[in-house]
Structure 1
Amino acid sequence: MKKFQYTVTDPLGMHARPAGMLVKEASSCESSVKIIKGDKSVDAKRVFGIMALAVKYGEEITVLVEGLQEDNEAARLEEFMRDNL
């Protein structure tokens, strides 16, 4: 299992468009991808789950990637988040 933290830098937070982009990126992973905020954990491949977290600008989330390609996929997701969220 690979885990990393990310602080959202988009001034609008994780609204519908970036959440949809994240779902698309996570869905291309073979591994299981979870996003955790506080005591809530959601499947990163489900847009409504991500939207339910209501992640705002400056808030930190934890991303868990678990599977055969977890190292590569976690690195790819972290780069995607830096570029888009």
Structure 2
Amino acid sequence: MKEATVQVHLEQGLHARPASLFVKKANTFSSEISVIKDGRKANGKSILGLMGLAAGHGSQVTIQADGVDEEQAIQELSEFLLLEHEVEI
């Protein structure tokens, strides 16, 4: 299992459209993906789970991946959260 702790730089945080894009990217990996914020853990492949974390701009989250492509998953999902531009709706 690999993990990385990152600060959410997405202008909108992980809400609605950004959460759906994160889930879409997470689903390209065979690894199990989890996102943790303030001790609460959500399935990284679930829009509702991610939105339930209420990870707004500036929040710190930990991404965990467990599986054959865990390193690539951590890298790409971390980069997604570090985007400083607004995600188009």
Instruction: Structure 1: state its 5+ residue gaps.
Output: none
How far apart in 2 are the matches of 1:48 and 1:16?
A: 9
Identity across matched positions, percent: 32
Q: CA deviation at 1:80?
A: 2.3
How far apart in 1 are the matches of 2:44 and 2:7?
A: 16
Paired position in structure 1 for 2:68: 68
TM-score (norm 1): 0.89
Instruction: Structure 2: state its 5+ residue gaps.
Output: none
Q: CA deviation at 1:74?
A: 1.4
Paired position in structure 2 for 1:46: 46
Map of 1:4-15 to 2, 5 A cutoff?
4-15=4-15
Q: Secondary structure at the match of 1:5?
A: strand
TM-score (norm 2): 0.86
How many residues get paired? 85
